[in-house]
Amino acid sequence: MSHELETGLALAFCAAMTLFMLSWVEQPAAYGMMHWPARRLLAATCAVFCLADLPNFVLGALWNVAQDHSASLASHSSGSQHSVLWADLLSSAFAGFGEEVVVIVFPALLAWRIARYVANPRLRRACLTILVIAMVGARLSYHIYYGLSALTLVPWALICVLIYVRTRAAIPLMLSHTLYDAMLAVDNRVGARYGYTAYITLGALVFVAAAALLIGLGKRGRSGSHQREAEHPHSTPVEVERNPATLTAGATEVRTNR
């Protein structure tokens, strides 16, 4: 069994136990396990994938190029271990679920509960900054064995943490993480067999498809909203409230005034 799969299994077990304990003291929405419509969840996942994982892919590709031309970088970076595809895909699913819960959801929820007793705004901002730095460090700690190449993961870790702190949406982070790891599991094999150009091309196609899907879902959502407004021009006045858990720009939650 590969190191990644062993780590993924351990993380998944810890995450399952963490969520089980959290379910006794918090509502699922409090730690990001919202029940979203499939279209909204897909759009949010594509948004996270493009915002966080695209920079990760680009930096990783640039690092590989630099590593090929520098013996020093190559000596301080860990190469990928040989493993079967099914094990890598299974590890991707475990990592996507486990890492988000253990290093993002649980620390953030604990910090938010403590923050209820902090009245000073300046102190609250300082605590938030410390929380973000600590969560980024915790997220990177699982990838120390990469060596210096783990530095390319810093923007990805920071963006994911900021998305969760802003939205409290955990499921899109889990799905995006799983999708990216699964893509790399396939892409690394394609690159090893057909060359670096094939590796870049396949990765770019996946990100273009995700961006196109996100744009299409956004246009469909806006057209549906305009159609409902045209069909009911004299409906009861409503109050439009922006949902803090929204990842896609312009999405809103509508609540009827009482």
Q: pTM of whole model > 0.85?
A: no
Q: How confident is the model at residue 244 (pLDDT cuts 50, 70, 90)?
A: very low
| Residue 234 is assigned to a structural domain of this protein | no
Task: Tell me the C-alpha distance between 173 and 179, whole Å.
Answer: 10
Token digits for 63?
């690092």
pLDDT score, position 136: 92
Q: How confident is the model at residue 239 (pLDDT cuts 50, 70, 90)?
A: very low
| Residue 166 is assigned to a structural domain of this protein | yes
pLDDT score, position 85: 82
| Residue 226 is assigned to a structural domain of this protein | no
**Which residues lie below 8 Å from residue 33, measured CB to CB, with a gap of 6+?**
19, 170, 171
Task: Tell me the C-alpha distance between 190 and 3, whole Å.
Answer: 21
| Residue 182 is assigned to a structural domain of this protein | yes
Say yes or no to pLDDT of 16 above 80.
no
| Residue 79 is assigned to a structural domain of this protein | yes
| Residue 231 is assigned to a structural domain of this protein | no
pLDDT score, position 157: 94
| Residue 188 is assigned to a structural domain of this protein | yes
Q: Give phi and psi for 26, each to the nearest 5.
A: -135, 155
Per mean pLDDT, which range of 21-25, 52-56, 188-192, 245-249 is the poorest? 245-249
CA torsion, points 109, 114, 116, 122, in degrees to nearest 10?
-110
Task: Tell me the C-alpha distance between 30 and 34, whole Å.
Answer: 8
The stretch 205-211 carries a mean pLDDT of 97
| Residue 104 is assigned to a structural domain of this protein | yes
Which structural domain, as residue segments, surrounds residue 160? 3-212
Q: Give the count of beta carbons closer than 10 Å to the beta carbon of residue 139.
A: 22
Spatial contact of 118 and 127, defined as CB atoms under 8 Å apart:
yes
Domain count, the chain: 1
Output DSSP code: residue 148.
G
